[in-house]
Chain A
Amino acid sequence: MALKGLDIFKLTPKTNCKDCGNPTCMAFAMKVAQGAVSIEKCPHMSPDALRQLSEATEPPMKTIAVGEHKLGGETVMFRHEKTFVNKNLFALYLCADMSDADIDAKLAEAMKVDYERISERMYVECIFVNVSDTQTAERGIAVVKKAAETGRDIIVRCKKPELAKEIVSAVPVKVLVGADASNWEAMNAVAKEKGLVLGVSGKDLSELYDTIEKLEAAGNKNLIINIGGSSIKDAFAAAVQIRRAALKDNVRAFGYPSIVNVERMAPGDHVLQAALASLFELRYGSIIVMGRMTYADALPLYGLRQNIFTDPQKPMKVEPGIYALNGADENSVCAITVDFALTYFVVSGEIERSGVPVNLLIADAGGYSVLTSWAAGKFSAGTIAKFIEEHQIESKIKNRTLILPGKVAVLKGEVENKLPDWKVVVGPNEAIQLVRFLKDYK
């Protein structure tokens, strides 16, 4: 990416042979620098030059696939600089040393968390199985099999290459964590044979760096960095320093996603684990391994993730339609607002607080706030009438009272003209006033 036209020109044969369709090698190099043509258009580039170019144009952080999910591929340190690309994943921690009853209970508890929030499925994507060195292959396989029955992507942590090989040969696994300075060659062989992502760790960042360089030299670029041991301070420092080195200082060896195990940092302390998971969602954890996943953990953590991994250039939208709140039925009053996710959450939250049954109608307004969409002509008497017609509100709901957001009170007359059967009521300006408004109105 950083290569300029002149740098590329130096690597061309400089013969001006026109075989690439350009008048001169210089013109060709300029186009390549802009990304207008591919370097392969020149049939005379030396393999050495091609290698240099492909290295220089490689993104600073690789994108690694885990099952159907993608990790890494990030280009900025803060979301406002552009956007974060691939959301972090969550993994449930299991250990082969745990009793079967414990493992079953943990799996069952975590599998209960499976819901949808703003068109996104929220669930534990991975299961992390720790197999200690003293464990038998038989036990390891049994536990990993049990985990695999859930259909989630399996991550196995095992530091003994022979043991790891037996397990990954018996059960389909996506990630094998456990390579370090002492065993990287053998672990690399196991991971490569099965096409697994290999998790690498080091006693410090220097050792980690060396091991990754060796693995890359051995041809493995399908890696994930296993962050830290049990110290919260060291793990946080490593997560930030690795990402910073990769994106800001061009340290290629650190251009991989990370895996952090918060169960190890705060064993059994679920509240502290939730705090840590929140920290690593914001600061560069790609897979976050948790000791448990209940709704209490999931609701804030998945909500936060959905916020942080939105593209700042695109508004977040909810599906247009009828949202029956507080047990609303066809006789309950209707209130309409826009499909901007934040508006929906605030308005629906306040309506729920009021306890008054309301049919909340969400109109298609391009994902903008009330005033913005109104100013852009996406939330007008015309679009409201069209929404009522297209979603067949009149056949689904008998009540003919429609509450408008106070900020678009000017639309009242026009909406009444377009919807003559309806009684149009102007609601409050701010969602926070809805509780009182609805209670008084009732």
Chain B
Amino acid sequence: MPFTAKPRKFSAGIIEIPLGVGQNAVTIGGGNVLPLYYFDNPAKNPPAVGVEITDTGVEAAGLPELAAYYEGANTPAERAKKAAAMEGADFVCLRFEGADPGGLNRSVADCVAIAKEVVEAINKPLVIAGSKNLEKDVELFSACAEVCSDKNVLFLSAREENYKTIGASCALAYGQKVGAESSVDINLAKQLNVLMTQLGVQPQSIVMNLGSAAAGYGFEYVASTMERVKLAALEQNDTMLQMPVITPVASETWSVKESIMPESDMPEWGSLEERGIEMETVTASACLASGCDAVILRHPTSVKAIAALIAALL
């Protein structure tokens, strides 16, 4: 008796959201099968891989390979160009690490100038990530949304505390895309999407950031939340959970012990950079398997591996 696998397609699907404009646009989301199950139905849009740079560029400190990749690029715009040219890169994410009032406290005006230079320098879609300071991000995003108008930029992220201003300025006033960030809980994710749409933001302008964790740091919550969100979107046709999911993996994985403990403190662990690369790669792969439609990574080696993994599954 031959065995025939039963394909599982769903009548509901994930919303398709284009980022960027023209020939350089990338569409994330789409599709009506469980994450990466392209044997059930071919992929509508493969998951996208973004490359993160920061305005400060400090992330390359202590990482010889990463520093070598960006060698000679002294401004954020120059680094962004190199990031966009990375093998496997679909989009660039500019993270305003330096805008944090608790850190460098770079002024909004300076950040806006950087954002403008970056968006004009690259030929790939841009994602702008904030400083994680709720008040500063509101100001920063509104101003950046204005100078990046017509570029279809995604802003990460609006949270429950500041979604109103960010949703109104980025999405409603300037037609940009907004990330809705919740902390690893399906109900919180849905609630924020409901609030955003009630504000008037179209579901087609919302990308979910369900929160993340590095592998080993409570990733079970991330995996289960993503899986439940995808099952609710597809099986139960929950329209408030059908937005694609983006996960900023790099900022989580490059700050855990495994990726920052110097080799001199942990000689048996071996190269710091290699540990960071594998932590980033393993976490990104687990995010994609759980239901993420776009990941944001930092290291060229991780970007290449994850792009190769996605290509091999198509």
Q: Which residues of A contact B (CB under 8 A)?
A: 78-80, 112, 117, 205-206, 208-210, 213, 231-233, 236-237, 240-241, 244-245, 249, 251, 253-254, 265, 269, 271-272, 274-279, 281-283, 294-297, 299-304, 306-308, 310, 312, 341-342, 345-346, 348-349, 352-353, 436
Contact = CB atoms under 8 A, between A and B. Distances in A.
A296 B5 contact: no
A308 B220 contact: yes
Given A233-B312, A271-B278, 18 more contacts: A78-B227, A206-B4, A232-B313, A245-B6, A276-B285, A278-B289, A279-B36, A279-B286, A279-B289, A295-B275, A296-B271, A299-B275, A300-B279, A303-B216, A303-B217, A304-B219, A304-B286, A306-B216
B205 interface: no
Contact of A278 (B39, B215, B274, B304): B215
Contacts of B257: 348-349, 352
A418 to B, nearest CB: 31
B263 to A, nearest CB: 11
A349 B254 CA distance: 12
Contacts of A253: 3
B39 to A, nearest CB: 4
B199 interface: no
Interface residues of B, number: 58
Contacts of B77: none
Q: Is the interface of A mostly helix, strand, loop or mixed?
A: helix
B284 interface: yes
Contact of A232 (B217, B227, B260, B309): B309
A353 B231 CA distance: 37
A295 B271 CA distance: 9
B39 A294 contact: no
Interface string B32-70: 000011110000000000000000000000000000000
Interface string B273-314: 011011101111110111000000000011011101100111
Contacts of A346: 217
B268 interface: yes
B270 interface: yes
Given A245-B3, A249-B6, A272-B305, A283 B282 contact: no
Nearest to A281: B286
Given A240-B37, A307-B215, A296 B274 contact: yes
A276 B218 CA distance: 20
Contacts of B5: 205, 237, 241, 244-245
Contacts of A436: 102
A222 to B, nearest CB: 21
A300 B283 contact: yes
Contacts of A231: 312
A66 B283 CA distance: 28
Given A209-B3, A281-B286, A308-B220, A271 B301 contact: yes
Given A232-B312, A308-B219, A300 B39 contact: no
Contact of B278 (A112, A117, A299, A312): A299
Given A78-B227, A307-B220, A353 B284 contact: no
A297 B314 contact: no
A117 B277 CA distance: 21
Contacts of B102: 436
Contacts of B284: 275
A102 to B, nearest CB: 19
Contacts of B282: 274-275, 277-278, 300-301, 304
A299 B217 contact: no
B199 to A, nearest CB: 27
A310 B223 CA distance: 12
Contacts of A272: 305, 308-309
B220 A300 contact: no
A249 B215 CA distance: 32
A307 B216 contact: yes
B220 A297 contact: no
Contact of B39 (A206, A209, A241, A275): A241
A342 B214 CA distance: 11
B3 A205 contact: yes
Given A274-B281, A278-B282, A279-B289, A251 B3 contact: yes
Nearest to A236: B313
A112 B268 contact: yes
A282 B305 contact: no
A307 to B, nearest CB: 4
B260 A353 contact: yes
A80 B216 CA distance: 17
B224 interface: yes
Interface string B1-22: 1111110100000000000000
Contacts of A296: 269-271, 274-275, 277-278
Contacts of A301: 215, 282
A156 B214 CA distance: 34
A249 B3 CA distance: 11
Contacts of B185: none
B258 interface: yes
B164 interface: no
Nearest to A270: B278
B228 interface: yes
B236 interface: no
Contacts of A295: 268-270, 275
B107 interface: no
Contacts of B271: 296
B39 A240 contact: yes
B286 A278 contact: yes
